[in-house]
Amino acid sequence: MITEIAQIEILPGQEEDFEQAVAEARPLFLAADGCHGIDLRRSVEHPTRYRLIVQWETLEHHTVTFRGSEGFTRWRALAGPHFAAPPQVEHVYSVLAP
């Protein structure tokens, strides 16, 4: 399992609209091949900073399958207008035994 962590800076004053856009896009992620869940977290210290956290079966399910899909295009159309800068995306995996 791979976890995508995207740090997203939002234009000031557009936080509520961005959160609504992510809520609308959530089914697009959940319908994507290899997606096992999605969460959105907002920073307490920096209220225009969010972390989008998505669980993927493999790295390729995100970087190839999802990014090449209509779902990704729709996601960016919904959320992209609220971005203050391009998202910073990192992929991680757990190193602790369950």
Contact 95/1 with Cβ under 8 angstroms?
no
Asked, for residue 59, whether it belongs to a domain, the answer is yes
pLDDT digits (tens, 9 = 90+) for 4-55: 999 999 999 999 999 999 999 999 999 999 999 999 999 999 999 999 999 9
Which domain, by its residues, includes 39? 2-92
State the residue for tokens 């399992």: 1
For residues 75 and 54, is the Cβ–Cβ distance under 8 A?
no
Looking from the CA of 12 toward its CB, the CA atoms found within 13 Å total 1
Q: For residue range 43-77, what is the model confidence (pLDDT) as tens digits?
A: 999 999 999 999 999 999 999 999 999 999 999 99
Domain count, the chain: 1
pTM: 0.93
For position 17, which CATH number holds? 3.30.70.100
